[in-house]
């Protein structure tokens, strides 16, 4: 009896603090957000005014909201696609596709892995400010300087509404690739060497080595990468907020759901409206998670 009592006491003591913190700071805000989304609260009145689904009606008629959704959707498609393709290519070269027998990586592969990963440990705001300078529109920008020296017109990487989004995407890919090179390398390391060697003896070149062996065996890891990058694409905030003109400009050409939530809540104090946006974003995220789990249910290859 005393042992059972002790055990219960132990469980309670160990869970009390983490559960309390989690309920207060995570669960309670999330549940409140769903209610606030149905009010016109602006933070001045003590009790928010319930207005039902009005915020959502306004939201769906708001062209800036649709721009933000479009940008998130484009990132959701392009960020994983580009990052995974580039990272798979490099991981293959560094681990298997060095040419010659034995399925080794190219020389210096360790060095490349260490180097490519580095942007991953930099804070997103540091990366954003750094690229703001790299992309400067005048001759003192890292990219436009050489362009202008060659007599070409400077490119408005962040000031041209037609280009700014691609600059944001480029920086996100720049920061992410190294992580997935390392992730895929770890996946490749768990595939037995002799599988590559056997395929090579059977006459497989590097291209078929990649598409027939590497990709199918790495498929699980590629799916993990897809989900992670998808969440990154839906969650993007700091890079847009810090790097682009007018926090999502120029002319809303780079705005995303997260920047619109922050702007509505903490610039315009439209807490209800911002929460409604948050609810929409929540359903996007959950929808994406469910969808990717469904689609990824594939036969697992045993080896």
Partner 1 sequence: MPTMTSPAVETSRRAVRQERRRLGPLSALSHAALLLWTVLTVVPILWTFLASVKSEDEIFGDAWSLPASLRWDNFARAWEQAHIGQYMLNSVIVVAFSTFGTMLLGSMAAYVLARYPFRGNRACYLLFVSGLAFPVYLALTPLFFVVQNMGNVPLIGPFIGLNTHAGLVLVYIAYSMPFTVFFLAAFFRTLPTAVAEAALVDGASHTRVFFQIMLPMARPGIISVTIFNVLGQWNQYQLPLVLLQERDTWVLPQGIADISTAAGYDQDWSALFAALTLAILPMLVIYTIFQRQIQSGLTAGALK
Please report, as residue ranges, which positions from 213 to 272 form the binding site for partner 1 (by CB under 8 A). Answer: 221, 224-225, 228, 234-235, 237-238, 241-242, 257-258, 261-262, 265-266, 271
**Nearest residue (CB) to partner 1, 71 versus 136:** 136
Q: Is 236 exposed, middle or buried (0-12, 13-18, 19+ CB in 10 A)?
A: buried
When computed from its CA atoms, the radius of gyration of the chain, rounded to whole angstroms, is 24
Binding to partner 1 by CB under 8 A, coded x per residue (else -) over 164-193, reads ----------x--xxx--xx--xx------
Q: How far apart are CA 157 and CA 176, in angstroms?
A: 20
CB of 57 to partner 1, least distance (A): 19
What is the C-alpha to C-alpha distance for residues 34 and 182, in angstroms, rounded to an integer? 39
Under the binding rule (CB under 8 A), the answer on residue 282 touching partner 1 is yes
Q: Write down the least CB distance from residue 54 to partner 1, Å.
A: 17
In this structure, the chain runs to a length of 303
173: CB partners within 8 A, 6+ apart? 79, 82, 83, 86
Q: Which stretch binds partner 1 (CB under 8 A): 77-85, 159-167, 284-292, 295-303?
A: 284-292
From candidates 106, 155, 204, 232, binder to partner 1 by CB under 8 A: 106
Residues 17-76 touching partner 1, rule: CB under 8 A, are 17-19, 21-22, 24-30, 32-33, 36
Task: Using alpha carbons, select from 232, 249, 280, 217 the residue that is nearest to residue 34.
Answer: 280
- Count of residues that interact with partner 1, criterion CB under 8 A: 98
Residue 18 beta carbon to partner 1: minimum distance, rounded to whole angstroms: 4
CA distances from 5 to 1, 14, 16, 17, 153 (A): 6, 14, 16, 20, 78
Residue among 58, 64, 78, 112 that touches partner 1 (CB under 8 A)? 112
């Amino acid at each position: 009896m005393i042992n059972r009592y002790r055990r219960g006491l132990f469980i309670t003591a160990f869970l009390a603090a983490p559960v309390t913190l989690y309920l207060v700071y995570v669960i309670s805000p999330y549940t409140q957000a769903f209610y606030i989304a149905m009010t016109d609260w602006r933070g001045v009145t003590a009790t928010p005014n319930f207005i039902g689904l009005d915020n959502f009606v306004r939201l769906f008629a708001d062209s800036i909201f649709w721009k933000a959704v479009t940008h998130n959707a484009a990132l959701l498609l392009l960020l994983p696609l580009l990052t995974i393709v580039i990272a798979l290519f490099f991981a293959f070269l560094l681990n298997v596709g060095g040419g010659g027998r034995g399925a080794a990586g190219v020389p210096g592969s360790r060095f490349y892995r260490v180097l490519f990963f580095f942007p991953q440990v930099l804070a997103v705001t540091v990366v954003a400010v750094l690229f703001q300078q790299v992309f400067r529109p005048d001759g003192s920008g890292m990219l436009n300087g050489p362009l202008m020296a060659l007599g070409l017109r400077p490119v408005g990487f962040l000031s041209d509404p037609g280009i700014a989004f691609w600059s944001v995407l480029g920086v996100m890919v720049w920061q992410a690739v190294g992580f997935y090179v390392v992730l895929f390398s770890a996946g490749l390391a768990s595939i037995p060497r002799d599988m590559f060697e056997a395929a090579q003896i059977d006459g497989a070149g590097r291209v078929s080595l990649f598409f027939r062996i590497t990709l199918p065996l790495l498929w699980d890891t590629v799916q993990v990468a897809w989900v992670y990058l998808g969440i990154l694409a839906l969650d993007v905030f700091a890079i847009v907020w810090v790097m682009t003109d007018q926090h999502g400009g120029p002319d809303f050409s780079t705005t995303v759901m997260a920047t619109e939530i922050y702007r509505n809540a903490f610039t315009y104090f439209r807490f209800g409206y911002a929460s409604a946006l948050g609810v929409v974003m929540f359903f996007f995220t959950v929808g994406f998670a469910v969808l990717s789990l469904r689609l990824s249910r594939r036969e697992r290859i045993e080896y």
